[in-house]
A and B are shown apart, each in its own frame.
Chain A
């Protein structure tokens, strides 16, 4: 009948969070929840991953929507990226997030893709995606970190047997905005700060986030800490749409009398998690917004970068993006 279809699976479409958690409990690590599906279907179609139970989250209304309260905003994990891009509250107070969401992939993917899916997305290392048995796939080798590995997109920091990067545009923005992830399971909910939510290979080489089987991200809380700050987002990719970042930068800062009083910066696609540029933040706090500060920040940002064979271009790129983030 048709070709190239995904292997058959049992599909569940729960309508409440409670039902979802029951399903996750019942099927454990044999269950795969899908939201927009754009990351998942590639795996299934390439037959590189297979799960017999797929849980469609699109019917769970309580996971969608953006609410504002006195402490900040709460974004349901199933909120689409387009909704975040167009939401008035997000654009008024946290435009960094809408700017980042607007640069993800293509319009159609943003309409279907969710914030939860984007934050939980798997790395794009092409060897891993090809389906080889590397460490991240449960094997015992890395193909990218080899003398001739084609690793132009891979990391500058945090290599620990795996050198893949976090490809999300929204994740660094979440780190900058000091977001908190609310994770539910049948034993209750727990909250994890955005910085701790993403994990690198030294913690668990087979996962990108702290989510365990049986758990699901339900919402993201963004406090008013950085509301109405001065935001900067820039993404450099091969093409102007549809591409994952080579490097991206997110910045929130408050300036008083020309000097930086508070600042948060994070870079994406240079490490397996969003890289919070803490040293840059410390160095520039209290400094005036001018070219010297920007230059210093750029130099500091790239300290300790360990390039691989094909990705040392990311070093001047990151340096320049940090400089640009501090010139405005």
Chain B
């Protein structure tokens, strides 16, 4: 749902939360782009349902960028439609004869026949009906309907259900490349170089994507080599209590070089070609590390993660592993 107020500011109402991926804002830019808005004249309304937030995906499931770009696109297209209709009603002519230009709507044959978005919003309030949120499609989710009712009469409301074409599942993909140096005497390894490549369609927020790829790589490294859930089988006591036993990667465990890249192949299922990214960038780093360790040791070596120093040392020295085959959650 989007809303243009009578000051001409675009409010993009999004139900996306915030874990730190910033996708609430990167997915909001679609609306700004569709409406031709200067980003400085846009406000992302989020984080508090008193602001009137529609039924949206949260920030999880590695799908936010895909789902919400479509949703915001649909809402923005509804706003475009309404803007042109208001222009036609007010200035005459056909809605299709109008184009959007720098936050105004003008007749493509006569550029003097124009209105600013601010003026459009005021007109929307006067006209009421579907323009200001008094009427809305019945197919909207109840939460979205409530959000519209919260904001009715405050400007031009663009709200729609995402009915864009949907053909199969749209999965994010990622590949990780890693080079390590393994010290066979201590089981210690150092990651010299890591490159994470994402296939998330169009990249909307490069710095944000970089953050995700690098952060996920570090999570993947932890998953593959440090983090374990150990229980004593006799009494069920957990041995991994506390952050000094439940070991997360630290500053000194991360790769010396951490690079990222994206293939930027637009996905046809999204109007701007974006997909989510989420989990795959973690899995590829885990797999890359395990493959690198195996490669260093001369071939496929382990069938259990995390691959800790114990296992490497036992393997290199020709001793049996401490754990029995198929035994998990032990040291």
Measuring CB to CB, which residues of chain A are less than 8 angstroms from any residue of chain B? 42, 126-127, 130, 132, 143, 146, 148-152, 234, 236, 238-244, 246, 309-313, 315-317, 320-321, 323-324
Q: Is the CB of B241 within 8 A of A126?
A: yes
Contacting residues, chain B, for A241 (C-beta < 8 A): 250-253
Which of A152, A243, A320 is close to B247, meaning CB atoms less than 8 Å apart? A243
Minimum Cβ distance to chain A for residue B309 (Å): 7
Residue B47 is within 8 A (CB to CB) of chain A in the complex: no
A317–B186 touching, CB < 8 Å: yes
Say yes or no: A246 contacts B250, CB within 8 Å: no
Q: How far is the CB of B124 from chain A (nearest CB, A)?
A: 50
Most B Cβ at <10 Å: residue of A132, A150, A243: A150
> Does the CB pair A317–B322 fall under 8 Å?
no
A321 to B319, CA, bound (A): 18
Q: Closest A-chain residue to B222, C-beta based?
A: A239
- Decide if B331 touches A240 in the complex (CB within 8 Å): no
* Contact of A146 with B234 at beta-carbon distance under 8 Å, contacts A126-B245, A309-B322, A310-B331 already known: yes
A248 shortest CB reach to chain B, Å: 11
Asked if A150 and B239 make an inter-chain contact with CB atoms under 8 angstroms apart, the answer reads yes
Q: CB-nearest residue of chain A relative to B313?
A: A313
**A236–B230 Cα gap in the complex (Å)?**
21
Interface size class of B (residues with CB under 8 A): 35 or more
A149 touches B247 (CB 8 A): no
The answer to whether A238 and B232 touch (CB under 8 A), given A309-B322, A313-B313, is no
A310 near B185 with CB under 8 A, answer no
Contact A236 B187 (CB under 8 A): yes
Q: Which residues of A contact B244 (CB under 8 A)?
A: 242-244
Kindly list chain A residues whose C-beta atoms are within 8 Å of the C-beta of B317.
313, 315-316
What's the minimum C-beta distance from A294 to chain B, rounded to whole angstroms?
11
- Assuming the A-B contacts A148-B233, A149-B232, A316-B316, are A126 and B250 also in contact, with contact meaning beta carbons closer than 8 angstroms in the complex? no
Q: Out of B233, B239, B251, B308, name the residue touching A126 (CB < 8 Å).
A: B239
On whether A238 and B314 interact (CB within 8 A), knowing A246-B309, A317-B187, the answer reads: no
Bound complex: CA of A127 vs CA of B247, how far in Å?
A: 17
CA distance A317 to B311 in the complex (A): 12
Residue from A146, A311, A312, A323 having most chain B Cβ neighbours under 10 A: A312
Majority secondary structure of chain B interface residues (helix, strand, loop or mixed)? loop
Whether the Cβ atoms of B310 and A310 lie closer than 8 Å is: yes
Contact with A along B117-129 (1 / 0, CB 8 A): 0000000000000
The smallest C-beta distance from A295 to any residue of chain B, in angstroms, reads: 12
Q: How far is the CA of A313 from the CA of B317 in the complex (A)?
A: 9
In the bound complex, how far is the Cα of B237 from the Cα of A151, in angstroms? 13
Closest CB in chain B relative to A243 CB, distance in Å: 7
Residues of A within 8 A of B331 (CB): 150-152, 310
Whether A240 and B313, one on each chain, are in contact in the complex, defined by CB atoms closer than 8 angstroms, is no
**Complex-state Cα separation, A142 to B311, whole angstroms:** 25
Q: Does B108 touch A at the CB level, under 8 Å?
A: no
Given the known inter-chain contacts A143-B232, A150-B330, please indicate yes or no for A320 contacting B186, CB distance below 8 A: yes
- Write out the residue numbers on chain B whose beta carbons fall within 8 Å of the beta carbon of A246: 309
Q: Are A127 and B237 in contact (CB-based, < 8 A)? A: yes
> Is B249 an interface residue, CB under 8 A from the partner?
yes
A244 to B319, CA, bound (A): 24
Residues of A within 8 A of B226 (CB): 238-239
**B252 near A240: Cβ-Cβ < 8 Å:** yes
Query: CA separation between A130 and B233, bound complex, in Å?
Result: 16
CB proximity of B109 to chain A, nearest CB, Å: 69
A236 touches B250 (CB 8 A): no
Q: Mark B218-250, 1 if CB is under 8 A from A, else 0.
A: 000000001000111111010101101101011
Residues of A within 8 A of B242 (CB): 42
Closest-CB distance, A264 to chain B (whole angstroms):
22
Q: Which residues of B contact A126 (CB under 8 A)?
A: 239, 241, 245
**Alpha-carbon gap, A155 to B234, bound state (A):** 20
Bound-state Cα–Cα, A132 to B251, Å:
33
B290-331 interface bits toward A, Cβ cutoff 8 Å, 1 = contact, 0 = none: 000000000000000000111101101101001100000011
Q: Is residue B94 contacting chain A, with contact meaning CB distance below 8 A?
A: no
For B245, what are the chain A residues with a Cβ–Cβ distance below 8 Å?
126
Taking the closest CB of chain A, its distance from the CB of B240, in whole angstroms, is 8
Q: How far is the CB of B180 from chain A (nearest CB, A)?
A: 14
Q: Are B319 and A313 in contact (CB under 8 A)?
A: yes
